[in-house]
Amino acid sequence: MSPDFLPPHRCQGTVAAPVSFTGRGLHSGRRTEVTLLPADAGRGLVFRVSPKKGASTDIPARWDQVRPRPLCTCLAAEQRQIRTVEHLMASLYGCGVDNAVIEVRGSEIPLLDGSAGPFVDAISQAGIHKQNAPRRRLRVKKTVRVSLGKSRAQLHPGPGLVLDVTGGLGGFPAMRWKGTMNRQVFKRQIARARTYGHLVHGLQAKIFTFSLPNPLCLGASLDNAVVAYRGRVLTPGGLRYRNEFVRHRVLDLMGDLMLAGGDLIGHLNCVRPTHELNRLLLERLFADEAAYAWV
């Protein structure tokens, strides 16, 4: 089909105007500035990491640029890295942004309120420019399975993206989210689910990783995370959704799946998904050329 006759949801998109965010990172606790810039069709999503001194480094937002870091998705190239990209990547999915240059002054994406909501709101306000090019779609052709400890995922062929995700937090009942995923569903049901964790685990992470090159949870607080202690939520206002924990797992999953480089078409079942499991799933999928097709 000619791009001139494509429906809007099948066209590539970029931000209609620059969009900026400022805030502290979940793990580093440092203040970071991020600006989304429009990009040509076919460019994809690229993080441009600018240090205080020296030249900037472009890091493509792809699964093969992921480096192992605890409790986040980290992209790296040429000795530079950008941590905690998953919430912003999920927001770009929800808003239909396929092409953008993401300028970052710092080494981590700001956490903001712990969800994708503030990113989605700002990008939506700036507007999306539809581009005269078809959006890339990745169709699953055969079943792919991965497991990592207690976490596991199975990706099956299917006519659209359907998710069945189970997860939660120790001390609380297991939670589940199941349904067809698209951009409207993401913005309505998933975008505002916040990151979460146990108070004791967060404090231990702060104390024991404070002096390490990649510290953990230094920027976490009751203002930007759902903090739990002994089976109850300490964060003022409580949960935004009865199953907010698993909804945030879905948010992280969608951010990580954006690293495939196109919209996934298939049915995905996940139990306790993690960033490492999500990366492993994409790695396993792309390792078998018979398992997928670009359409």
In three-state secondary structure terms, 37 is strand
Q: 3-state class of 63 per DSSP?
A: helix
How many angstroms separate the CA atoms of 255 and 249, rounded? 10
Locate all alpha helices (DSSP H) within the chain, ordered by sequence: 86-95, 117-126, 183-185, 199-209, 244-257, 275-287
Stated length of the chain = 295
Mind telling me the catalytic residues? 275
Residue labelled with tokens 């429906």? 7
Please answer whether residues 100 and 19 qualify as being in contact, where contact means their C-beta atoms are separated by less than 8 angstroms: no
CA distance 133 to 41: 6
Q: What is the DSSP string of 214-231?
A: S--STT--TTTSEEEETT
**Mode of pairing for the β-strands spanning 66-67 and 11-15:** unpaired
Tokens 């396929």 correspond to: 98
Query: Which is it for the CA torsion 190, 98, 214, 48, positive or negative?
Result: negative
Instruction: Return the DSSP state at 99.
Output: B
